[in-house]
Amino acid sequence: MSNDHVAEDAVTEDAVAEHRAMTSDDVRPSSSVARGISAAVGVVLFALIVLLAVSGGDEEESSSRLLGNRVPSIAGTTLSGDTFDIDASRGRWVLVNFFATWCAPCIAEHPDLVELETWGAETGQLDLVSIVFDDDPENVADLFDQLGGDWPVLTAPQTVVDFQVRRVPESFLIDPNGVVVGHVISGVTAEVVVNEIARP
């Protein structure tokens, strides 16, 4: 093998190495660019976390245009065939509860509603009424048979519209004068309702 051939091979290997280095530099982002991309992704993720925290953190208690106003009319025939009119409860507190049997939080809150029904009957201070939200009355009857409760239940789509119910469970507390004073999105607890009623 001649010296000329060895030199030619060396030149060729150097050229290939240089070409590879240039190509990889063109394709691979510099460390400063990579840091910038990472920072941008971090900012976006942080913003999403904050947005979720702000939008979902206080959903249990929410404002409603009905707060401070007279309760919309609720009247009709209950699933048991009785007549209901919320005006007949004037002078007592009323908890209006929107629910469905396919809603897990609705099932979870049901024992608290049963407790409130018992407390209301004992004290004479509170009535309950539930409005079915997109559900089969037979499923509702089965739920009450299994979990208890004997308060009025209505299928009243117009009432859902009047209260601007967005998702269930959703409850409204009405004072003895017929004014909406409380609004809870997600499950209510007996303790919260009783404390609100007892508050001076």
- Tokens representing 147 are 């979990």
CATH of 75-198 among 3.40.30.10, 3.90.650.10, 3.40.50.720, 3.40.190.10: 3.40.30.10
- The residues pairing with 85 across neighbouring beta strands, listed in sequence order, are 75
pLDDT digits (tens, 9 = 90+) for 64-113: 899 999 999 999 999 999 999 999 999 999 999 999 999 999 999 999 99
**48 or 155: which leads in pLDDT:** 155
**144 or 60: which leads in pLDDT:** 144
- Tokens representing 144 are 């009450």
Residues composing the chain: 200
Measured CA distances, 7 to 1, 10, 13, 14, 18 (Å): 11, 5, 10, 11, 17
Confidence of residue 144 (pLDDT cuts 50, 70, 90): very high
Measured CA distances, 73 to 51, 153, 160 (Å): 36, 15, 11
Confidence of residue 188 (pLDDT cuts 50, 70, 90): very high
Give φ, ψ of 175 to 5 degrees.
-80, 170
Other CB atoms within 10 Å distance of the CB of residue 27: 7
3-state secondary structure 127-183: EEEEEECCCCHHHHHHHHHHHCCCCCEECCHHHHHHCCCCCCCEEEEECCCCEEEEE
Give the C-alpha separation, 102 to 168, whole Å: 10
| Range 143-172 average pLDDT | 95
Other CB atoms within 10 Å distance of the CB of residue 197: 21
| Range 127-140 average pLDDT | 96
CB half-sphere exposure, 115, CA atoms < 13 A: 12
